[in-house]
Structure 1
């Protein structure tokens, strides 16, 4: 008896909900993603279908003042089943804004009545920015494979520093976490929007492809270290200590975020700052190893050419977007992306100098991870011969 009563009540509630949904007329915008130039006027068509409610008004709002001007800001509902209006959107200042609507009648569903408006200085700059973004993605993605090829050809990873690989794999995993979290999780994206109300989400789809692919390609290189000759190379105690410190920081920030002491956006920023720190230091072990061996043998210069191209174009894209949307805060909103480009370029220049100037055509003193007795003997022998 109780079971049948429960099902009857549930059925009544379901029917009531369906009837309520049916009686609501949807308010629709003709376009949901709008790009306009500063000073340009865009005609946005708005419509209501199958409306049978009372006469009232519909109000339009912009979430960020000073970017887009609406005319009119409200329209009157008539006693007609199908109605439509045209709203003029004027681009006042470059940036990113949302246009939403609200109706005085509860019989109008406004949940789908919104549009994302991007005001730009120039459409051409926007197109160039997208092209530049895919160029740096391609260059950085390809940059991993010259090293993989050299390792395969030599059947050896001697000359490739293991500290660099350890930092690299952790850095790109954390960069992937940051990008995916800020791009795919609405809760975190909303936190970012609240913190930077006039800023665009700095993470683009090519950033996600790059970071995830970079972690994958680095993992392939690490697998090669278990297959091919590696000599006496290993991860140094210094690198292990630094990695342990990074893990402690991430565990603490994750725990604070889980306990709602800080926002999850702050945890993602912690991941990005660790990645930025890794970018600052990860090339140092390799550069120092080249210095000890007085050679760049085993370290791919093709990797450096691609890395330099990727870093330069990555910074160029952020500068183009900052100008085009008057959104320089995005550089600070995603410090990892800009820092990744800047410090990659700096170290790439150093590797160019080592390869083409300091150690050009040099044979390595000894294939090892540091200076030992055999290296000292080799150095002394070369000194006496000189």
Structure 2
């Protein structure tokens, strides 16, 4: 009994010491221009207990991008309430992490890390931000021309229903991904546990775009029930594809509910289906235009705005890759860039259909 009480007392004292010795930094994200320097401070808590031995080691992921003036700190030299300066020098454009470990278990150094981003020109960063807002607006507004032309014609003849059905499912899943990762605490905790030093990839504008897209696409679908649609309907092929996607999502949700996979994985599965839909959703409309030898009823305004958004999105990626010397984001993981390029290619094809191939269409706008 005495031994157990002694062990418990030691355990309590150790935990108390660790709680007293939590080191941190004053900032986790550091942005510098090439060849600039900046100081980050390691914060020693006021209740810090002096540790007689052991050291804090600072490790840098890519020394060719940034270097620091201090890589080893003796814990015995730290004083309660002290701020220890760490000078960071930007050596090359790019992104790198500085993290730490300790040779003393009584020092908690999990919060001693920071991300360093080095850029070549500040003007390119500003230009990238402006381009980002322009393509965000272009993509958001791109849903309105089709709704307007449907209202003006009081007809949806020429608008492919397969495209609409795939589009609404894709944007619903995109909304689920964004809303879940941004608002649900349990999923955010899963993301933080999986990527301890990662930033949440979902921003408020991502949520606005996705939800706005669902609303406008849903409104366009309602127009299909109100206005003249002739004999148009969702094809059997599209229904099969939608059913396969639906079954996959339901099964994924089911196994996530029973903890076979994490809910974060379920959200990723939703995003994968959205990416797949992006690859195939334009095909039915392009084939319908070809079969009718007309683009009547299919808004070219939608295409021009989508082309603007897609082109500027890729331009932003190229500018950022150059400014941060991060070409791996394009060539090492080409999914986003490839999807943008694929969408722009379809937009160009639609423009050829509208302005060249079928400019003398026999179909008349009603």
TM-score, normalization by structure 2: 0.78
Aligned to 2:32, the other structure's residue is in SS state: strand
Alignment of 1:223-238 (within 5 A): 223-238=222-237
In the alignment, what sits opposite 1:64? Answer: 61
Alpha carbons of structure 1 residues 188 and 333: separation in structure 2 relative to 1, 3 Å: farther
**Does the CA-based 8 Å contact 1:202-1:333 persist in structure 2?**
no
CA shift, 1:54, in A, is: 2.4
Alpha carbons of structure 1 residues 122 and 311: separation in structure 2 relative to 1, 3 Å: same
**Does the CA-based 8 Å contact 1:276-1:339 persist in structure 2?**
no
Cα deviation 1:130-178 (Å, max 9, x = unaligned):
2222221111111001111112222222221111100101112223344
Structure 1 CA distance for aligned equivalents of residues 243 and 327 of structure 2: 34
In the alignment, what sits opposite 1:75? Answer: 73
CA shift, 1:345, in A, is: 0.9
Alpha carbons of structure 1 residues 82 and 202: separation in structure 2 relative to 1, 3 Å: closer
Cα deviation 1:302-358 (Å, max 9, x = unaligned):
111100001111122223333333444444787653344212211111111111112
- RMSD over aligned Cα, in angstroms? 3.8
**Does the CA-based 8 Å contact 2:20-2:49 persist in structure 1?**
no
Structure 2 CA distance for aligned equivalents of residues 103 and 345 of structure 1: 54
In the alignment, what sits opposite 1:242? Answer: 241
Cα deviation 1:205-234 (Å, max 9, x = unaligned):
544432332222211211222232322221
**Does the CA-based 8 Å contact 1:32-1:116 persist in structure 2?**
yes
**Does the CA-based 8 Å contact 1:27-1:49 persist in structure 2?**
yes
Aligned to 1:219, the other structure's residue is in SS state: helix
1:24 maps to 2:20 = yes
Alignment of 1:109-258 (within 5 A): 112-180=111-179, 185-188=188-191, 191=194, 193=195, 205-254=204-253
CA shift, 1:200, in A, is: 8.0
In the alignment, what sits opposite 1:35? Answer: 31
**Does the CA-based 8 Å contact 1:101-1:110 persist in structure 2?**
yes
Aligned to 1:312, the other structure's residue is in SS state: helix
In the alignment, what sits opposite 1:95? Answer: 95
Alpha carbons of structure 1 residues 306 and 23: separation in structure 2 relative to 1, 3 Å: closer
Aligned to 1:43, the other structure's residue is in SS state: strand
Alpha carbons of structure 1 residues 164 and 347: separation in structure 2 relative to 1, 3 Å: same
Aligned to 1:44, the other structure's residue is in SS state: strand
Structure 1 CA distance for aligned equivalents of residues 128 and 117 of structure 2: 15
Aligned to 2:115, the other structure's residue is in SS state: strand
Cα deviation 1:46-84 (Å, max 9, x = unaligned):
333534632556625347354543321233455854322
Q: Which moved more, 1:71-80 or 1:256-265?
A: 256-265
Structure 2 CA distance for aligned equivalents of residues 289 and 79 of structure 1: 73
Structure 2 CA distance for aligned equivalents of residues 178 and 298 of structure 1: 32
**Does the CA-based 8 Å contact 2:28-2:114 persist in structure 1?**
yes
Q: Which moved more, 1:33-42 or 1:164-173?
A: 33-42
Structure 1 CA distance for aligned equivalents of residues 28 and 82 of structure 2: 19
Aligned to 2:359, the other structure's residue is in SS state: coil
1:353 maps to 2:352 = yes
Q: Which runs of 4+ in 1 moved over 6 A?
A: 199-202, 259-263
Q: Which moved more, 1:160-169 or 1:95-104?
A: 95-104
Structure 2 CA distance for aligned equivalents of residues 308 and 206 of structure 1: 20
Structure 1 CA distance for aligned equivalents of residues 39 and 189 of structure 2: 29
5+ residue gaps, structure 2: 1-11
Q: Which moved more, 1:223-232 or 1:253-262?
A: 253-262
**Does the CA-based 8 Å contact 2:62-2:96 persist in structure 1?**
no
**Does the CA-based 8 Å contact 2:20-2:45 persist in structure 1?**
no
5+ residue gaps, structure 1: 1-15, 368-386
Alpha carbons of structure 1 residues 273 and 214: separation in structure 2 relative to 1, 3 Å: same
Aligned to 2:83, the other structure's residue is in SS state: strand
Cα deviation 1:167-195 (Å, max 9, x = unaligned):
1011122233444556663423654x49x
Structure 1 CA distance for aligned equivalents of residues 179 and 320 of structure 2: 20
